[in-house]
Amino acid sequence: MFEALNLRALMTPANLRMLGAPVFIIMVLSMMVLPLPAFALDVFFTFNIAISVMVMLVAMYTKKPLEFSVFPTVLLVTTLLRLALNVASTRIVLLEGHTGPDAAGKVIEAFGHFLVGGNTAIGLVVFVILVLINFVVVTKGAGRIAEVSARFTLDAMPGKQMAIDADLNAGLVDEAEAKRRRKEVAQESEFYGAMDGASKFVRGDAVAGILILLINILGGLMVGIVQHDMDAGVAIETYTLLTIGDGLVAQIPALIISVAAGMVVSRVGDESDIGNLVIAQVFSNPQVLMLTAGIIGVLGLIPGMPNLVFILIAGLLGWLAWRRMGDARRDAAEGARTPPEAVALEPPAENLEASWNDVAPVDVLGLEVGYRLIPMVDKWQDGELLKRIRGLRKKFAQDVGFLSAPVHIRDNLELKPNAYRIALKGVEIGNGEAYPGQFLAINPGRVTGPLAGRETRDPAFDLPAFWIDAGQREQAHALGYTVVDASTVVATHLNHLILSHAAELLGRQETQALLDHIGKNAPKLVEDLVPALLSVSTVQRVLQNLLEEGVNIRDMRTIIEILAENAPRTQDPLELTSRVRQGLGRSILQSLFPGNAEIQVMALDPSLERILGQAVSAAGGEGGVIEPSLADGLLRHAVEVAQRQEDIGLPPVLLVPPQLRWLLSRFLRRAVPSLKVIANSEVPETRTIRVTAMVGGAAR
């Protein structure tokens, strides 16, 4: 009883469909080793012809190649079936061919007698022509199309993938639609790649058909004359006709399958099936039809030509042209009768009313690349730059203290092939060029010789550099150059720009996310500050002030505590920033002067310090205006002293009174980006200060 139930469960339609393909393949392989009766050969040959016709019709009615994605597998299976039938028919021809022309079944007999009239010479010629058409024309052309299509499809994959990602980032498609499109792009490349390989099956089948023909004729003659004592003429006629019938019954389905393969890979439009496309694009122009009818009619009037046939075809084409012109006039008349109001009430699809969906958000961080840099950012090609961008974004979060917006990458055909552009909120903040496969040899200032290569500048730090080939890496290292690959060049440039624009990357959303993150471990600390004492925008402004001067905000607990302590007395972001800097003084000095060594800094000349203090006091705060000539001299001297500090291996740090720190930091930042201005109140009592140079006076 249980066995009956199990058998009934196995015989479900789903299980039968799953078993169909394995059983069929096993049957085909069995035909190569097991003898088949003539009737079975008739059944399988007929089935082979039916399958080939069915495949060709499916190919004709397919609108997109991917709708028939199983075609490469079908091509393999049908080729295997034909070869198995050739083996089975060869066996029965050699075993039973001496008994008569119907020894291998009625199908082979019909193809040997009816199609070629029983003439062996005609049969051989027809067979060779079919093989040549299949092998030289159809299969070779289809294989070439598949090869080129596979190559261009693979080359276009990165651009298509990036276009899908761009639509997804812009909100034009959802995640499900993006996944479907990515899958379709991958399947398209796999299909054409499989078709490129599957075309070799048909080519091998044609070669095998010729070899089987020769083997059957020679083998049949030997068997008939030697084993069955047949007359040579009778043996030649009998076995040649059987062999030709066998070859034709296999080559005609092979030709049909090859034509189907050519139609699948050669179609371009995907809006209709092949029949409608041909009718719409070839027989729709009445001028073309009328000119063709005139040319054929004139040829039909030439004496000696088959006048009736030519004039009949010309008349048919002329009638078709007349019908097309009548349809065009009728459509034009119907369009003229349509009132303008009706047209206005039904606007075309492309003129639909604008909506909020048409407003695409601007990417906070964007990286646009030329087409030669696409492999560096294509995840399907294991782009190295993608890994580096993920790594630098993680390092940025660890070093600076908040998570920046993701970098949206897209290709831009308006850029040079090797160019890239980095944008912040839609505005370009950096650009450069990179050459995949080459290396950038950067001169850090201590090289011992030049290099042969493309001279350029390091895009991140503007150092002299050369683009060199991989074979010059060792030479560049030996000469003292710093050698990095193309992806590292772009990643370093991007990292440098992100760090220098960290304050702009900290928006309201990032600030709130940072507070929420701190609130998970210290909820009361955050609740007491926001919104009880300060708004999110004020906290954001304080954090941006810190980031603008290169101070990381990793110690958010200390920052929040200082803000909560001072917020009842002042709401001014500049004053709050100064208080926070004093609280973070130990961390700020540690980043500039690691360890507990003495602090070697620059200081203001006392007279200059007194003048600047008076300007700030007159302004009534940390602002103030510096007299132009004094500002010019101060700026020029600060640049010189900062450069001398860097030359002796010291960080350019200017120590000033607290009331001057904000004024001088803002004033000197643009001229000397590496200069750090710190207040006396920010220096911990445990650190020893030594002034190495004076700004505005003689160096000490």
Write out pLDDT tens, residues 200-216: 776 677 677 777 777 77
- Whether 604 and 618 share a structural domain: yes
Please tell me which residue, 271 or 62, carries the higher pLDDT value: 62
pLDDT surpasses 70 at 82: yes
- Beta-strand pair 427-433/419-424: antiparallel
Q: Which of 67, 79, 52 is nearest to 274 (CA)?
A: 67
What whole-number distance in Å separates Cα of residue 489 and Cα of residue 493? 6
The answer to whether residue 684 is domain-embedded is yes
Taking the C-alpha atoms of residue 366 and residue 362, their distance in angstroms, rounded to an integer, is 9
Quote the domain boundaries for residue 656. Answer: 588-700
Write down the pLDDT at residue 2: 39
Evaluate whether residue 184 is within a structural domain: yes
Q: What is the band of 45 on the pLDDT scale with cuts at 50, 70, 90? A: confident
Close Cβ partners of 616 (under 8 Å, ≥ 6 residues apart): 622, 623, 624, 659, 660, 663
92 and 181, same domain (yes or no)? yes
Which residues face 433 on adjacent strands? 419
Tokens of 6: 């199990």
- Is 205 part of a structural domain of the chain? yes
What is the pLDDT of the chain when averaged over all its residues? 79
Is 608 inside a domain boundary? yes
pLDDT of residue 635: 87
**Tens of pLDDT along 236-265?**
767 777 777 777 777 778 777 777 777 777
Question: Same domain for 188 and 257?
Answer: yes
- Reported as a single tens digit per residue, the pLDDT across 50-72 is 888 888 888 777 777 777 777 77
Does 377 fall in a domain? yes
Here the CATH number for the domain that contains residue 411 is 3.40.30.60
Q: Is 78 helix (H, G, I), strand (E, B) or coil?
A: helix
Sign, CA torsion 341/345/348/351: positive
Mean pLDDT of the 283-311 span: 78
191 vs 499: CA distance, rounded Å: 45
Kindly report whether the global pTM for this prediction surpasses the value 0.85. Answer: no
Q: How far apart are CA 63 and CA 277, in angstroms?
A: 10
User: Using H for helix, E for strand and C for coil, what is the string for 379-439?
Assistant: HHHCCHHHHHHHHHHHHHHHHHCCCCCCEEEEECCCCCCCEEEEEECCEEEEEEECCCCCE
**Which helix (DSSP H) or strand (DSSP E) does residue 622 occupy?**
none
Query: Which of 503, 529, 544 is the C-terminal boundary of a domain?
Result: 503
Boundary of a domain, candidates 503, 524, 558: 503
CATH number, position 614: 3.40.50.12790
Contact of 254 with 86, CB cutoff 8 Å: no
How far apart, in whole angstroms, are the C-alpha atoms of residue 244 and residue 118? 10
Q: Extract long-range pairs of 269-276: CB within 8 Å, 24+ residues apart.
A: 270/63, 270/64, 271/63, 272/63, 273/60, 273/61, 273/62, 273/63, 274/59, 274/60, 274/61, 275/60, 275/61
Say whether both 242 and 189 belong to one domain: yes
**To the nearest whole percent, how much of the chain has pLDDT over 70?**
78
Highest average pLDDT, of 40-44, 209-213, 317-321, 572-576, comes from 572-576
d(CA 546, CA 540): 10
Q: How far is CA 7 from the centre of its chain?
A: 49
Chain centroid to Cα 350, Å, comes to 28
Could you tell me how far CA 657 lies from the centroid of its own chain?
56
In this structure, the strands spanning 689-695 and 464-468 are unpaired
d(CA 573, CA 577): 6
Number of domains composing the chain: 4
Q: Could you tell me which residues are beta bridge partners of residue 601?
A: 691
User: Is the pLDDT confidence value at 349 over 60?
Assistant: no
Residues 460 and 601 in one domain: no
Q: Among 442, 468, 503, where does a domain finish?
A: 503
* Residue 547 and residue 395 in contact, taking contact as beta carbons nearer than 8 Å: no
Closest C-alpha to 81, from 201, 215, 200: 201
Query: Tens of pLDDT along 460-491?
Result: 888 899 999 988 888 888 888 989 999 989 99
Query: 436 and 304: one domain?
Result: no
**What is the rounded CA–CA span in Å between residue 700 and residue 689?**
14
List helix spans (H) across 223-231: none
The answer to whether residue 430 is domain-embedded is yes
Percent of the chain residues topping a pLDDT of 90: 18
Residue 192, pLDDT above cutoff 60: yes
Q: Is residue 14 scored above 60 in pLDDT?
A: no
Whether the pLDDT of residue 699 is over 50: the answer is: no
181 and 212 both lie in a single domain: yes
pLDDT band for position 418 (cuts 50, 70, 90) = very high
Please report the pLDDT score of residue 347 as a whole number: 46
Terminal Cα-to-Cα distance of the chain (whole angstroms)? 107
Let me know whether 391 and 440 are in one domain: yes
Residues 380 and 321 in one domain: no
- Transcribe 652-679 into DSSP letters: -EEEE-HHHHHHHHHHHTTT-TT-EEEE
Query: Is residue 75 located within the same domain as residue 211?
Result: yes
In a domain, 234, yes or no: yes
The answer to whether residue 307 is domain-embedded is yes
Both 202 and 295 in one domain: the answer is no
pLDDT for the residue numbered 345: 41
User: Cα torsion at 427, 430, 432, 434 (round to 10°)?
Assistant: -90
Round to whole Å and give the CA distance between 433 and 394.
25
Q: Are residues 293 and 235 in the same domain?
A: no
Sequence-distant (≥ 6) Cβ neighbours of residue 193 within 8 angstroms? 150, 154
Q: What is the pLDDT, as a whole number, of residue 341?
A: 41
